[in-house]
Amino acid sequence: MARPRKHDGSLFRKEESKFWWMDYRDRAGKRQRESTNTEDWDEAQKRLRERLQARDGNTLPLLRKGEQLTFAQWSAHFLEGFSKPPIRAQKTHLSYSRVSAGIKQRHFRRFCSSKEHTQWRGRGTHST
């Protein structure tokens, strides 16, 4: 029989990271280590408690999967499953599609150089 643990989880810092990291065990007993993505110890504690509550409520896999979902994946799922007739009118679906495409373009533009954006839009053939 395994030895009982004193603590459910802990926070620590890695030398190469400015963020707090959390260490805890999932329901199967497997050790999980992940960044809290925050420099604030109180916020890191809050995120660790959320993880432990999700684990105890058996929702941890869903929580982790949702955090890894990109906007493009979410919008594709929404447009396919919840935006088309008979759930929504065809005009509404087209409107949602335009909004989704616009958000994706603005988001992409924010995180890439103007040269990369020009290549992505197909207006240029610059090579690096």
Per-residue pLDDT tens over the stretch 8-45: 899 999 989 999 999 999 888 899 898 998 999 999 99
pTM over the 0.75 mark: no
- pLDDT, residue 126, reads 45
Looking at the structure, tell me whether residues 60 and 90 fall in a common domain: no
Domain ranges, residue 75: 71-121
Instruction: Please give the full DSSP string across 26-82, using - where no structure is assigned.
Output: -TT--EEEEE-S-S-HHHHHHHHHHHHHHHHTT-HHHHHHHHT--HHHHHHHHHHHH
Is 127 a domain residue?
no
Looking at the structure, tell me whether residues 14 and 62 fall in a common domain: yes
Is 2 a domain residue?
no
- The pLDDT tens digits for 52-105 are 888 888 777 766 666 666 777 778 878 888 888 888 899 998 998 898 888 877
